[in-house]
Amino acid sequence: MRRIIILSSLIFFIIQTQAQNKKDSQKEVQLQEVKVKASKIINKADGKTLLPTEAQKVSSSNGYDLLNKLSFPTIRVDEVGHTITALGHQGDVQMRINGILASKDDLLALDPKLVKSIDFINNPGVRYGENIAYVINIRTIRNEDGYTLGTDLNNTVTTWHGDNTIYTKINHKKSQFGLTYNSFYRNFKGSRYQEEADYLLNSGAHEFITRRDQDSQSKEFDHNLELQYNLSDSASHLFQATFSTDFNHFPRDFEDRLIHSSDQDYIATIRNHSKQFSPVLDLYFSSHLGGHQNFTANIVGTHLVTRTDNYNDEGSPYTYTVNGKTWSLVSEFIYENRLKPFTLSLGLHQKLKYTRNDYSGDVESLDNMHDAEYYLFGEIKGNIKKAGYVIGCGTNHDYYRQGEYHYNYWLMHPKITFTYPLLKSLNLNYTFEISQHISQVAMISNTQIRKNSMEWTVGNPNLKPTKKTAQQFKITYAHPRLTSELNFTYLRNRNCNLASYSRSDDNQFYYTQKNQHAIDMIYLQNNNTFDLIPEKLSLSFYGGIYRFLNIGDDYRHYLTSYNIGGSVQAYLGNLTITANTDNGWKFMEGETWDH
């Protein structure tokens, strides 16, 4: 079947302000200072350290703005949408400030003038977890006393859409107090969805159905409040406590959809209404144990309350409500020892989670899901003459229970990375990794939900973890004005979750996922950044060829796609002008195309 979604274009109006009152005395948050005499880039075994120029820091208004000016060739920074993504669907970009996981609000409240250095880890080890393509750690200094007050107002002039933040930070000796409030709203009207479906019936006949939106509206509000306290002693300890609450509300979300089938035409209505509230407490502690040892601990407690009401009258009225509650406790403990030949890291990651989803109406189901995960890892990184290496292995024990369904698994996660400088400005990198993945809650729930008059989605509690093997070769050329990276990646996902469709006697079609043979993915990418005029005009361009092979139990589907794009950035004092273009992205890990 073919699906088309058309969204209206947006024009954004952005206002950023910041006021400061500070004393001249400053102190560093951590002892480890990177000192550079001739170059603003230092290569390491797992990446590189960058020192932004004064011109870049002074002309930047927040963390997103500064990262955008650094022009990472494999990462796209969206200052308007406040997102940081890896090009080519290679995984997530994990953001940290002084080693602590950073949120969108943390990056918006960051004062670029206080940035000391930025660690760009393009070969993250097993300590960072699964599906992490890059880690960016921003190291800062801070004022002894004073305050920062700022706003980031991001609103459109062509539709009802805004993302606005106000924040303040107050410093007093070793303590810092922070308050951030973010308000997001949108009211999109007129988006268009089109689908052409061909159903093969039991009789051998074909039923063609076209679904096309005639009217639609999606209204959303989100409010987030964050309180933060930070206590730092650069000689020994760092403690941070963050409490945040998030309230999300979809008061109106509907589509009036024209349904054209072989025997009738009519308008179907789809309505959804949802609320979500989530308080989070995040505690972080770091301590230097002597001159070359460090211990960090991070504990996060989360409670999530949701309610969703759904209505769809295609074929016949179908309505149900989901009331959900989730409690989770995530903790991480890491010991690091910077020995002379290498750096040793040992750690434990633990997650305890309970989810209760109560379905009522035309869906009658109660899901109680218990999940406990323990991840123990060890890692060493260092250099042998010119060559750099990162070698690590994680062992994951996962327990899951949902009614009569349960599993208990031990999973391995080895990862090896080697780098070697072929020439002064040319580096070769090879990475080998084996990882396991456990399906999302929606697909392991023991519930079936009607999608439309012909289709149903059915959960499968018997889904087992999948095993993914990845090999990657990278050649990087780094020049003061030109950075280019050629990347070849081969991924094999064995015993993976693939789509499975079945047809009932009354011609209803049921979609679920089952563990099936494999998915093979091959990427060839090239990413480039060139400073036409240093610190004034920058050009980025990239391209890639991608091959996907889905090998199911009773089918084989293949896709070859191409992706090209580029951007131009002009820095005019405090004004930055950015233009982006690309031909779109087509991705098929599984039986659904992502665009």
HEC per residue, 436-503: EECCCHHHHCCCEEECCCCEEEECCCCCCCEEEEEEEEEEEEECCCEEEEEEEEEEEEEEEEEEEEEE
Average the pLDDT over 318-328 and give the result.
Answer: 96
Residues contacting 567, CB < 8 A, separation 6+: 76, 539, 540, 541, 578, 579, 580, 581
Q: How far apart are CA 407 and CA 350, in angstroms?
A: 17
Smallest CA-to-CA distance from 589 within 502, 501, 491, 507 is with: 491
* Residue 31 in this model has a pLDDT that exceeds 50: no
Smallest CA-to-CA distance from 243 within 300, 175, 298, 286 is with: 300
Q: What percent of the chain has pLDDT over 70?
A: 91
In a domain, 115, yes or no: yes
* Residue 197 in this model has a pLDDT that exceeds 90: yes
The residue assigned the tokens 């002894």 is: 144
pLDDT, residue 341, reads 85
> Do residues 506 and 457 lie in contact, with contact meaning Cβ atoms separated by under 8 Å?
no
Q: How far apart are CA 142 and CA 475, in angstroms?
A: 37
In a domain, 233, yes or no: no
Structure tokens belonging to residue 129: 């977890």
pLDDT classification of 21: cutoffs 50, 70, 90: low
Strands 75-78 and 83-86: antiparallel
Average the pLDDT over 541-568 and give the result.
Answer: 91
* Residue 588 in this model has a pLDDT that exceeds 90: no
Q: How far apart are CA 68 and CA 71, in angstroms?
A: 6
The residue assigned the tokens 């003061």 is: 480
pLDDT classification of 11: cutoffs 50, 70, 90: very low
Q: How far apart are CA 186 and CA 195, in angstroms?
A: 25
Lowest mean pLDDT among 323-332, 471-480, 529-538: 529-538
Smallest CA-to-CA distance from 187 within 419, 8, 42 is with: 8
Burial of 487 (0-12, 13-18, 19+ CB in 10 A): buried
127-136, 202-211, 562-571 — most confident range: 202-211
Query: Does the pTM of the predicted model rise above 0.95?
Result: no
Strands 47-50 and 41-44: antiparallel
Average the pLDDT over 128-133 and give the result.
Answer: 83
Please give the mean pLDDT across all residues of the chain: 86
Q: Output the 3-class SS for 267-287.
A: EEEEEEEEEEEEEEEEEEEEE
For residue 32, give the DSSP letter.
Answer: -
Q: How far apart are CA 527 and CA 544, in angstroms?
A: 9
Q: How far apart are CA 279 and CA 224, in angstroms?
A: 10
Structure tokens belonging to residue 14: 């952005």
Handedness of CA 69, 484, 136, 489 (dihedral sign): positive
Number of domains in the chain: 1
Phi first, then psi, for residue 468 (nearest 5°) are -120, 130
Helix or strand run (H / E) with residue 573: none
Q: How far apart are CA 399 and CA 408, in angstroms?
A: 5
Residues contacting 340, CB < 8 A, separation 6+: none
Helix or strand run (H / E) with residue 564: strand 556-572
Average the pLDDT over 226-249 and give the result.
Answer: 91
Lowest mean pLDDT among 6-15, 297-306, 569-578: 6-15
| Cα dihedral value 137, 141, 146, 152, nearest 10 | -30
Residue type, 61: S
Q: How far apart are CA 585 and CA 561, in angstroms?
A: 8
> Do residues 256 and 217 lie in contact, with contact meaning Cβ atoms separated by under 8 Å?
no
Lowest mean pLDDT among 172-181, 397-406, 575-584: 575-584
Strands 132-143 and 92-97: parallel
pLDDT, residue 93, reads 93
Which structural domain range is residue 41 located in?
A: 26-143
In a domain, 388, yes or no: no
> Do residues 73 and 478 lie in contact, with contact meaning Cβ atoms separated by under 8 Å?
no
In a domain, 43, yes or no: yes
In a domain, 549, yes or no: no
Handedness of CA 97, 101, 105, 107 (dihedral sign): positive
Q: How far apart are CA 404 and CA 370, in angstroms?
A: 12
Q: How far apart are CA 155 and CA 15, in angstroms?
A: 9
pLDDT, residue 595, reads 56
pLDDT, residue 192, reads 86
For residue 594, give the DSSP letter.
Answer: B
Rounded to the nearest angstrom, the gap between the alpha carbon of residue 582 and the centroid of all alpha carbons in its chain is 21
The CA-based angle 191-197-201, given to 5 degrees, is: 155
Burial of 158 (0-12, 13-18, 19+ CB in 10 A): exposed
pLDDT classification of 537: cutoffs 50, 70, 90: confident
pLDDT, residue 42, reads 77
In a domain, 1, yes or no: no
Q: Percent helix, strand and coil across the chain, each rounded to 5?
A: 5, 70, 25
Structure tokens belonging to residue 202: 């039991």
CATH label of the domain that carries residue 138: 2.170.130
For residue 587, give the DSSP letter.
Answer: B
Q: How far apart are CA 204 and CA 181, in angstroms?
A: 59
Q: How far apart are CA 270 and CA 450, in angstroms?
A: 12
For residue 111, give the DSSP letter.
Answer: -
**First CA to last CA across the chain, in angstroms?**
15
In a domain, 179, yes or no: no
Helix or strand run (H / E) with residue 56: helix 54-58
Residue 486, strand partner residues: 475, 526
pLDDT classification of 33: cutoffs 50, 70, 90: very low
Lowest mean pLDDT among 68-82, 189-203, 370-384: 68-82
